[in-house]
Structure 1
Amino acid sequence: MANKEMIKKAYELAKEQYAALGVDTEAVLNKINEIKISLHCWQTDDVSGTENPDGQLSGGIQATGNYPGKARNITEIMADLEKVMSLLPGKQRVNVHALYGDFSGGAADRDAIEVKHFQGWIDWCKKQGIGMDFNGSFFSHPKADSGFTLSSKDEEVRKFWVEHLKRTREIAAEVGKQLKSPCVLNTWIPDGSKDTPVDRNGMRSQLTKSLDEGFAAEFPKEYMKDAVESKVFGIGAESMTVGSHDYYLGYAIKNNKMICLDNGHFHPTEVVGDKISSCLQFVDEVLLHVTRPVRWDSDHVVTLNEEVQTIASEIVRNDFISRVNVGLDFFDASINRIGAYVVGTRAAQKAFMIAMLEPTSTLVKYEENGQNFERLALLEELKTKPFGAVWDYYCLQEGVPVSEDYIAEIQAYEKEVLSKR
């Protein structure tokens, strides 16, 4: 167990070091709680959902591994999320996919879902004192087997998915209204072609038509905010993705929607952190899906790596916190799922704290004066400053496990709960 006195002493020393650089660690400890990360419910059960838990994943989505103890129903999903939140500093949100409704009262197809199917989630969020975000589920469904949903040239299929989009927006608006916190409604579709298509324009025209129909109803922004999410390719859609970044960025700017930037949905050499300030020149807000791609969009558990740090730094340096909605998107079925949540979320939180501990004004001054050596030197020296001491003190203040202490907590939960499933 962590020694509280040692943590406090280490923090006081770190506080002095950062003060010498003009950084107020107390201000950072207050500001870090402005970052509310939306926890994706689909890590609890490998994207199985509650609609048809034994169904096969489709639409380029694949969860690998069969670690024991995955959640089997909404009750277990919520219990696992409660355990996760008890191990994280600050307040989070929850992000729910449409296939995670409560269908105990009877099945409802995607074009027939209603608020009542998610009222249990809303009530649970009220109890937890957190906000909720929502997503349409345009995959793992017979009407998505062709590889096309909102861009389908089959009018019956296209209309089905347009109705699903409409229903998700109605649900999201009610979520935000009841929780008194705007619900971010993210729309991602797997549409694309395995081999080279001829009529790319026709597919994208269909998608535009569908989005225009689905987004026709207006909802107050204090209740619901729309986001559209691109992807570079997917399994079964290797040659062309209808909803590319170029397409959705243009649609978002023209129609005043948020663009969702998933750092696994771009070419390996593209840096999502560099896209944030570009997008925010033209849209009011962006949504982030923070993940860890390994060679491709493989949705590994987030770690404190350079790409995640770049994303966090870009947001903090430009005071974009109020304009950026942060969510996670990974599903690792090969390790303890609670552990995956805690490691991934803490990594994202640490990246934001490191960014807040940076003497940005000094660095900008160096940059504007052409003092590039000084800028480089200070950035390098910051890498070895005692950030960990500030992080541990933050966790201590928040009453959650410090440092690696959460490992034992998760091991106990696995023994007492997960192993009995």
Structure 2
Amino acid sequence: MVAQSFEEFIKQLEIDNLDDIHKRFKRITKRLNEAYWDSDSDQEHGYIVGSLGRQTAIKGISDMDMLFVLPKEIKQQYDQHEGNGQSKLLQAVKAEIKKTYPKTIVRGDGQVVVVSFESINYTIEVCPAFYRSDGAFDYPDSNNGGSWKKTDPLPEIDESLKTTEETNNNYRYLCNIIRAWKNHIGFKFGGLLIDTLVYQFLDEYEDHKNATFENYLQVIKDLFYFLKTRNKDQKYWFALGSNQKVYNKKGTFVTKATSAYNKIKDLTEDSENLYDTLQELFGETFPVPDTVSEAKIEKSAFSAFTARQTEEFIERKFPVDIRYSLRIDCEVKQHGFRTHLLRNMFKDHIPLLPNKSLRFFIVENEFDEMASRSEERISYDVYWKVLNRGDEAIRRDCIRGQIVRDRGRHEKIESTNFKGEHYVECYIVHNGTVVARDRIIVPISTNQL
């Protein structure tokens, strides 16, 4: 049964708007060809790169990376500009794209021109580039006074497509699954780093290159083991195909993979909690066979208490494409007692008791930091979810779990009422897509009121 679930899950992750993405790519390519090459081609000089180019992206992806190659004379022209020539080049490309999309938000953003299609919750990041003699590209970086940087995405695309073919699609499937895991758990894990590590995994575990879905439970166990045993302090890896450096700032994926492996390592297809664990790792959309769902319903019918199923899921409200880091914490207060931060209480093994006032707030919001550096105002929304777990939550019919929009203060006020491992989750939604999320567990340790 689990083989069929993995196969259905892979189908769920397939991108469903590729035609629209390619249509917009062609329109931008044609506009820039007219402006810089005196051509009406909608394909020449343009490249879809990034995870879409490598064909490892999944449904819900919020942007497309594209390169557009300009004549070498243009680089010479902007090299002779006084001041920041790279910034002026980005502004010139921006002005040309605005001729095709006059009502669309188009802005320069350090190294690319960002075209935001709010009606479809999608952006295209256009990187103007110049051919190099070694086959790679130079592109403008307008930060810190301006400079030229090197990128080499085409060998990465070639190696990704070749490996997908050589592994009977297993390479692409595993890249897809790790993206789904990253989006559900909610942490920053760059697409090129994911693809590079999966590539290295299959190089080390050669037997999995020809795996079938019947083997996928073991394959996923081995993949999480591979990820958890990487060096958390390693600053970079060499990308597949190009050997470009792919940087890893915090090694968060190692910690998350360790947790995932510990949850799944001992499970078999006969484990009672197999599908609960797979949904915990990959989201509630991971398919559960009807026979398993029916058994759970029958079991709950014999329980002493029932509760309304009020929980909502962010994946059913917005596409999820986690690209930024988010961290929340909780201030724990009670009259007459010293205030604590919940994460510090975890470290110090201080129990969380009832009758406490809780203020959940954002500690770190990388998206907000990025937006503040932009030349134009970038807006976003904050949403919160509070879910109660445990027998007492069921007995009181107080599971909650509704997703609510923040009212502008970027905080959530709650209180500790009854025993259970509850949790609070926060989401950053930009242009209709969840781009960052974080969760904090709230373990109330006693039922005394």
Q: Normalization by structure 1: what TM-score?
A: 0.28
Q: Normalization by structure 2: what TM-score?
A: 0.27
Question: Computing the radius of gyration over CA atoms, which structure comes out larger, 1 or 2?
Answer: 2
Which has more helix, going by share of residues?
1
**Higher relative contact order at CA 8 Å, sep ≥6: structure 1 or structure 2?**
1
